[in-house]
């Protein structure tokens, strides 16, 4: 398996532009998570999906952020319009629902380093 | 919601020494506790995890202990090597059906030769 795939790996854009980040989860995983990582705030959960349905988007910082999962193998995180404070590394992760009481490992993609000038 | 505190924020050791990183959690319903290692510019990768039905787990030089009563868990690395230098994150989850992880702020471990 190729693992979680993210694109692009690096994105540099100017303030006000729309940014779209993409993620392909591990095949067969039914949970997908979007995280943002900064030095100041660490790893923050933005939103997660179960079976392509958004479950909790309380971590999405503003209405400028939106996420979709049109099918089991693709998700996007969009920022419109982008601002310099959105500069961060954005990770996508996926996992599988286990039978029983315990969660399973989350596997992270390589991340997208976003710089908004 | 869950809150995970991690200490110390930075840790410097000499090669061959042991390193211990500690985390506390607030939600008594949490039952899954993974540890991730993140090298500079790379993704977080799972190095070891523990479930609440055991108190300790070992994998070569790495061990994790869990104290459910006190709601804390620790990562122990023995015989540290320079390649252990990275940021380590602990996390907690309430388990299947609540698969979100709450992460600690991370510990930067520096192992000097």
For residues B50 and A77, give the distance between their C-alpha atoms in angstroms, rounded to a whole number: 31
Name B69's Cβ contacts closer than 8 Å, sequence gap at least 6. none
The answer to whether the CB of B6 falls within 8 A of the CB of B108 is: no
Going B99 to B63 to B11 to B52, the CA torsion angle's sign is: positive
* Interchain CB distance below 8 Å, A31 and B99: yes
Q: What percent of chain B has pLDDT over 70?
A: 96
Q: Which whole number is the average pLDDT over B36-59?
A: 93
The residue of chain B with its CA nearest to that of A43 is B103
Q: Tokens at residue A16, please? A: 């006000």
Q: Which whole number is the average pLDDT over A55-80?
A: 94
pLDDT over 70 (residue A35): yes
Mean pLDDT of chain A: 93
Q: Give the closest residue to A93 by CA, choosing from A19, A10, A33.
A: A33
Give the single-character DSSP code of A25.
P
Chain A contact for B103 (CB, 8 A cutoff): yes
Burial of A76 (0-12, 13-18, 19+ CB in 10 A): middle
Give the single-character DSSP code of B32.
E
Q: How far is CA B64 from the centre of its chain?
A: 7
The answer to whether the CB of B56 falls within 8 A of the CB of B34 is: no
Give per-residue pLDDT as tens, B73-86: 999 999 999 999 99
pLDDT over 70 (residue A47): yes
What is the structure's pLDDT at A76?
Answer: 98
Chain B contact for A74 (CB, 8 A cutoff): no
Name B41's Cβ contacts closer than 8 Å, sequence gap at least 6. none
The residue of chain B with its CA nearest to that of A98 is B96
Q: How far is CA A102 from the centre of its chain?
A: 23
The answer to whether the CB of B107 falls within 8 A of the CB of B35 is: no
**A42: nearest CB among B31, B100, B106:** B106
Give per-residue pLDDT as tens, B21-47: 999 999 998 989 999 999 999 999 999
Question: In which band, very low, low, confident or very high, does the pLDDT at B96 lie, cut at 50, 70 and 90?
Answer: low
What is the structure's pLDDT at B54?
Answer: 85
Question: In which band, very low, low, confident or very high, does the pLDDT at A37 lie, cut at 50, 70 and 90?
Answer: very high
Backbone angles phi, psi at A65, to 5 degrees: -100, 135
* Interchain CB distance below 8 Å, A43 and B44: yes
Exposure string of B80-111, with b = 16+ CB inside 10 Å and e = fewer, is: beeebbbbbbbbbbbbbebbbbbbbbbbebeb
């Amino acid at each position: 398996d190729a693992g979680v795939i993210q694109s692009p790996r690096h994105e540099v854009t100017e303030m006000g532009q729309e940014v779209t980040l993409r993620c392909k989860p591990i095949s067969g995983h039914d949970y997908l998570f979007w995280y943002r990582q900064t030095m100041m705030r660490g790893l923050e959960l933005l939103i997660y999906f179960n079976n392509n349905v958004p479950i909790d988007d309380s971590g999405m910082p503003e209405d400028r952020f939106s996420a979709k999962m049109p099918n089991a193998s693709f998700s996007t995180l969009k920022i419109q319009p982008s601002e310099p404070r959105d500069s961060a590394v954005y990770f996508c992760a996926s996992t599988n629902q286990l039978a029983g009481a315990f969660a399973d490992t989350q596997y992270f993609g390589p991340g997208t380093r976003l710089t908004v000038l | 919601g869950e809150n995970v505190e991690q200490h110390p924020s930075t840790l410097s050791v000499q090669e061959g020494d042991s390193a211990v990183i500690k985390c506390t959690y607030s939600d008594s319903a949490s039952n899954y506790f993974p540890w991730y290692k993140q090298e500079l510019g790379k993704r977080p990768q799972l190095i070891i995890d523990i479930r609440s039905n055991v108190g300790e787990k070992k994998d070569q030089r790495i061990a994790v202990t869990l104290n459910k009563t006190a709601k804390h868990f620790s990562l122990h690395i023995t015989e540290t090597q320079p390649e252990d230098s990275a940021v380590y994150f602990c996390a907690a989850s309430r388990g299947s059906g609540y698969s979100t992880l709450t992460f600690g702020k991370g510990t930067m471990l520096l192992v000097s030769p």
